[in-house]
Copies of this chain bind each other. A is one copy, B any other.
Amino acid sequence: MAGTIEAYAPAGGPRLADLARFQKVRALSLALAADLSDADASAQSMPDASPAKWHLAHTSWFFETFVLRDHVPGYVAHDSAWAFLFNSYYEAEGDRIARAERGMLTRPSLDHVRAYRAHVDAALAAAWPTLPEPARVLVELGCHHEEQHQELLLTDLLHLFSRNPLAPAAWPARLRFACPQPGPIRWIEGGTGEARIGHAGGGFAFDCEGPEHGVWLHPHALADRLVTNAEWRAFIDDGGYRTAGLWLSDGWAWVRSEGVEAPAYWRRDEAAEFSMRFALDGLGKIDPASPVRHVSYYEADAYARWAGARLPTEAEWETAAAGLDPAAGTFLDGAGAIGTLPAPEGEGLRQMFGDAWEWTASAYLAHPGFRAVEGAVGEYNGKFMSGQFVLKGGSCATPRGHARASYRNFFYPHQRWQFTGVRLAKDL
């Protein structure tokens, strides 16, 4: 993902979206932005993030360009200048505005962008009955693309609001019941020897998820749940952020240059204790029983070393997830405050899907046999294959139904404005 999943192509052959699916996805984006002011939707708080308005427009540009322009005779672009503004990574589609300049676009306004969405949606609905199959494949792709941007819209908004001293809340906090701290981690043994991972067809997937291929697993076990805030607090209290030996070399340099001493958005209370966190419902208390989130790979790796464990590999995680329901768990179902929840009671692996993206120890590189699709749409998941790590499982900000076992999210090891968490693993 990484603000980077800007194009791809289905890895398992054509799949057709239906119009209702399209309309539902489009409606969620609008709902997420419904309470934002024009200013909220226009500001860019860092180069990694984009304004909400940009997400809303860019996802529409995708449908306008690759479906309406290319497959609907006589379609007239909403505004020809906007292709320049709301293109993102598609070098093949010509110039685009520099990523770090997106906050300069105070115009078009949020209302104009909403009108753009309506224009595109109406044109697509009108064209639907006669849309050729390749265009329907692109609509399906565009829906998944938009779901990715729904998550980014939320995490970028969170980052923006975190910079405002007034600590504004996008939505009111949800009622929370005090949850008991989950019991100690139990280790769930994984498979050994040859296994197969990667998308095998039978449903939508991005190109980088395939092809399916063999891997060799070594004796190992996975933690049955995610690391909690209470456990992370113990790491802090034990001097985790001050102990060079726990950190990767690059991670230690990052800790020192950035003055890192806790997960992103953790805040000290008046007693200087880390008991508070900022979220889209504003300032609130850290829930000790819930999974930690907004930690970087460097932090995840250091924590695992401190805990005498390690992070899982992508193959270990993906084989373990094979039989689980990827749509069950704490996901995004609509506009409103979002957050992680304590692990439910029970046996076996829990929280594999939803709650927080799980850092793996695997670099984001091509699966054996991977080939990027030709053309602008195929530009690319492949071009981000250096320096990033794979994350699995989705988060509480991921639209429900978007994740699957083969899904590969990816970020640089220092990034942590996403809902990123930690599951431990160990050798057996």
Interface residues of A (CB under 8 A from B): 4, 37-43, 45, 53, 81, 84-85, 89, 91-92, 97, 101, 103-110, 160, 163-166, 168, 193-194, 213-216, 218, 244-245, 247-252, 297-298, 301, 310, 313, 361-363, 365-366, 368-369, 379, 383-387, 389, 413, 427
Contact = CB atoms under 8 A, between A and B. Distances in A.
Given A39-B38, A218-B368, A108 B386 contact: no
Given A39-B42, A379-B245, A164 B105 contact: yes
Contacts of A84: 165
A131 to B, nearest CB: 28
Contact of A39 (B45, B106, B214): B106
A413 to B, nearest CB: 5
A249 to B, nearest CB: 5
A252 B383 CA distance: 10
25 contacts: A39-B39, A39-B42, A39-B107, A40-B107, A42-B43, A42-B106, A43-B43, A81-B165, A89-B249, A104-B163, A105-B164, A213-B216, A218-B368, A218-B369, A248-B383, A249-B384, A250-B387, A301-B386, A310-B366, A363-B365, A369-B427, A386-B389, A386-B413, A387-B387, A387-B413
A164 B104 contact: yes
A385 B305 CA distance: 13
B163 A4 contact: no
A37 B40 contact: no
B383 A107 contact: no
Contacts of A92: 245
A160 B362 contact: no
Given A81-B166, A215-B216, 18 more contacts: A4-B249, A38-B38, A39-B43, A39-B106, A43-B106, A85-B166, A89-B249, A91-B245, A106-B164, A107-B166, A193-B214, A194-B216, A245-B379, A248-B384, A248-B386, A361-B365, A387-B387, A387-B413
A142 B271 CA distance: 39
A218 B194 CA distance: 13
Contacts of A216: 194, 213-216
A200 B103 CA distance: 47
A43 B103 contact: yes
A386 to B, nearest CB: 5
A254 to B, nearest CB: 10
Nearest to A313: B368
Contacts of A168: 107
